[in-house]
Structure 1
Amino acid sequence: MGPPWSYSQGITVIPLGAGMRTDQQMKVRLPEELKQWVEMEAQRNCRSKTAEVVYALMAEKRRREQASA
């Protein structure tokens, strides 16, 4: 069986649901200053805003785990 997409005249067609993320979503309200900081950091690091928030949270999680070890 081939890949779940096809090529037609240089156009890639991906069926709905193919490659969709299963990560849980969570809405978060941020102060404007923090929102702007996330946007600037994401752009500076060539990441999406989501990836930047995940990176920052994972870094803080590691820092706290190392501090308590």
Structure 2
Amino acid sequence: MEPLPVLKQETLILWGDQDEVFPLSLAYQLQRHLGAKSRLEVIKDAGHALQLEKPEHVNRLIKWFLLNAKDTKST
């Protein structure tokens, strides 16, 4: 398996603190790998399907991220 590339753009990582598919430790490892332009949001009481379990919270975080990302460019 090839290593993950480091992304240049702002990146939002959403992770459920109760995820039983991928442990929370992987979220922190991914954030460290992606670097300073990544933002990790851990959603309390959510598992792997956090977009189904906490849709309002997920939508609020995505909306905030899209409206506040520094590297967005209109095409």
TM-score norm. by structure 1 comes to 0.31
TM-score norm. by structure 2 comes to 0.29
More strand by share: 2
Higher radius of gyration, 1 or 2? 1
